[in-house]
Amino acid sequence: MGYDIERFVGYVNEGLLCSICRDVLEDPLQAPCEHAFCTACIHGWLVHHSNCPEDRQVIDVSLLRPLYRYMKNDLNRLQLHCRNREYGCEMVCSLESIDRHERECEYSQIPCSNAGCTVQIERRNMDGHLAVCEYRSRECPNGCGYTILSAEDTQHNCVAELRTELELLRSEMICRVEEAKHEMESRLDSQRRHMVQKESILQNEIEELKSQMSRMMSDVRSLMAAERQHRQELEQAELEKREL
């Protein structure tokens, strides 16, 4: 939807009106046939139609383009009243700057910032409202450190609140201890499994080394026996040589 034409000061060119809602263009788009529309209006129209609402020429969302620059400049220069005029704001400014003004306008109706409060009040009166709002919060005057709502003043009990907090802290501590215990047990189990696996690997390596050593000792004994045999043969050969 566009800007209500009644808000504008002076004459508004027909070409700056939306061809659908007939208000002043808001976030405008232009069809190839040069008819202009508010973005929300033309998108809503094209959900159920496939042509221009003015001359019935076929159009598609992909054919829509931004407004011509000179038309955009004319649109931005239009002067209009703040939407909070009915609440007392007398500001008149250009369409280009109206959004910035209305975001900061002292006459804007804004919600109370206190949780639970549903009151909407003018920005300029918000400080006064917050000072008396029944949902305003403050620190307990008795020194327990709790933040309380004014509406809860008569129900607030420092001892009961602190006892409740202590129980919550105790429960939280127990949970954390249990979590730490489970985590430690899990780590110990993991390390135990790793050590058992490592021990098994080392045991296999030891057995392999023993086997290799046994083979080596057998080879050494075989070599020593062969050496004795060879020595005996040499001695026998020496004796036979002497006899000859």
> Tokens 């490592």 appear where?
198
Residue 232 class from Cβ within 10 Å (0-12 exposed, 13-18 middle, 19+ buried)?
A: exposed
Reported CATH class of domain 109-149: alpha beta
> What's the CATH code, domain 5-104?
3.30.40.10
pLDDT tens for each residue of 94-105:
999 999 999 999
pLDDT tens for each residue of 203-222:
989 989 988 998 899 888 88
- Give the bridge partners for 80, in sequence order: 8, 93
pLDDT tens for each residue of 44-81:
999 999 999 999 999 989 999 999 999 999 999 999 99
Whether 109-149 and 5-104 are alike in CATH topology: the answer is: yes
- For residue 5, what is the DSSP state? G
Predicted local distance difference test score (pLDDT) of residue 151: 52
> Could you tell me the two tokens for 127?
């400080």
pTM (predicted TM-score): 0.52
pLDDT tens for each residue of 164-174:
778 888 999 99
> Does the pLDDT value for residue 150 go beyond 70?
no
> Does the pLDDT value for residue 138 go beyond 90?
no
Domain boundaries, the chain: 5-104, 109-149
